[in-house]
Amino acid sequence: MEKIFIGVTDCSKYNKYASWIAQEPGVETIQLGYKQDNFHDIQRCNGILLTGGEDVHPKFYNNLEYLPYCYKDDIDEERDAFELKVLEYTQEHNLPLFGICRGLQIANVFFGGSLIPDIPTFKNTNHSKIEAEDRYHEIITETNTKLRAITGVEKGQVNSAHHQSVERLGDGLIVSAESPEGIIEGIEWARPEGKPLLLLVQWHPERMMDQTSAFTSNIRQCFLDAVKINS
Query: For residue 96, what pLDDT band results from cuts at 50, 70 and 90?
Result: very high
Catalytically annotated residues: 101, 204, 206
Q: Which residues contact 137 (CB under 8 A, 6 or more apart)?
A: 127, 157, 158, 160, 179, 180
Identify which of 218, 217, 226 has the alpha carbon closest to the alpha carbon of residue 192.
Answer: 226
SS3 of residue 27 by DSSP: strand
pLDDT in tens, 162-193: 999 999 999 999 999 999 999 999 999 999 99
Q: What percent of the chain has pLDDT above 90? A: 94
pTM metric for this prediction: 0.96
pLDDT at residue 94 tops 90? yes
Compute the average pLDDT of residues 48-75: 95
Asked whether residue 231 carries a pLDDT value surpassing 90, the answer given is: no
Distance CA 205, CA 20 (A): 9
Please name each of the domains of the chain with its CATH number.
4-230 (3.40.50.880)
Report CA 27 to chain centroid distance, whole Å. 19
The confidence band for 122, taking pLDDT boundaries of 50, 70 and 90, is very high
The confidence score (pLDDT) of residue 1 equals 57
**pLDDT, mean of residues 112-133:** 93
